[in-house]
Homo-oligomer: A and B are copies of this chain.
Amino acid sequence: MTQSNKPLRGIIPPMATPMSTPDTLDVEGLNRLIEHLIGGGVNGIFVLGTTGEAPSHSYELRQQLLEKACEFVNGRVPILVGITDTSAVEAVNFAKLAKNAGAYGLVCAPPFYFRPTQSELLEFMLHLADNVPLPLYVYNMPSLTNVAFAVDTTLKALEHPNIHGVKDSGGNMVYFHALRQALKGRKDKSLFIGPEEMLAEALLLGADGGVPGGGNACPGLYAELFKTATAGDLKKTVELQANIMALSKAIYSCGEYGSSFLKGVKCVLEELGVCKALPAAPLKPVSDAERRRISDAFAKLNFPPAWTGAAVAAK
């Protein structure tokens, strides 16, 4: 973070939510996962996002996760909290809990039942920005919210002083690069890429960081790529990205897109001794055969402990 005045930069994994049962938080697993992430050198942690399966959890569990995560992290890295909700009232309520728990900022995708128009989307974000007590980041996630932020809408939202940046998980690099060009040189606004398949190129071309799901499993790999990419080391970055692609191929084929992310990540976390491979309802648990297939594929990658944080898990 020495290269920039920006408060938020680098690798901020969307943390998986360790579960003891389909609706009980695994508190010890959470502690291990947080140590695993911080030990791997991440620059922040994003809780209760898509990979955190926030919409599937009860509000009670969401609050418990939030408070325990803030307690365990204890200020070592900034915590971003997903407040995405169909109800603006509930989103603002949860933002207040996040402030009380000591979180750094908030991430919010569009309301995802009724389809807002672009003007309704802007109005919704500005309403939140006015009413939440922490910095707000816009979360573009059209494959699950069924509405994509237009470039213009995003740029208008970013004019609000309490909207500090964008996490783009849309996978549409035309949108991403339009934002990137428009925000070039802006010290007060940050741009993060979601899909790790585009992490290298996003960073090489000037994005501020990434929110890679695979960062749950191998935080050190992503942290290293962030360093090489921001140092302009093209050759090394391309090599590291090839490892990310290999990881992605090995573990993200566990069911259909969307749940494949969640399930594959949790299988590796189980393999590493961090927490169980148990998704929240309504997703089904992974079969033993599938878990074994993923463990084997992961083992074959033969990643060094600096990437997988195996030392932490071995404790």
Q: Check: A249 CB closer than 8 A to any chain B CB.
A: yes
A177/B245 in contact, CB under 8 A: yes
Known A-B contacts A117-B256, A201-B205; the reply to A57 vs B87 at CB < 8 A is: yes
**Cβ contacts under 8 Å, A283 to chain B:** 114, 116, 120
Interface size class of A (residues with CB under 8 A): 35 or more
A241 closest partner in B (C-beta): B205
Point out the residues of chain B lying under 8 angstroms from A234, CB to CB: 204, 232, 234
> Looking at the complex, which one of B89, B205, B281 makes contact with A200 (CB distance below 8 Å)?
B205
Instruction: Annotate A181-198 by CB proximity to B: 1 below 8 A, 0 otherwise.
Output: 100100000000001011
User: Which residues on B sit within 8 Å (CB–CB) of A311?
Assistant: none
Residues of A within 8 A of B (CB): 23, 50, 53, 55-59, 61, 86-90, 93, 111-117, 119-121, 123-124, 127, 144-146, 171-174, 177-178, 181, 184, 195, 197-198, 200-201, 204-206, 232, 234-235, 238, 241-242, 245-246, 249, 256, 258-259, 281-284
Interchain CB contact under 8 A, B120 and A58: no
- Which residue in B113, B177, B181, B195 is a CB contact (below 8 Å) of A112? B113
Residue of B nearest to A128 (CB): B282
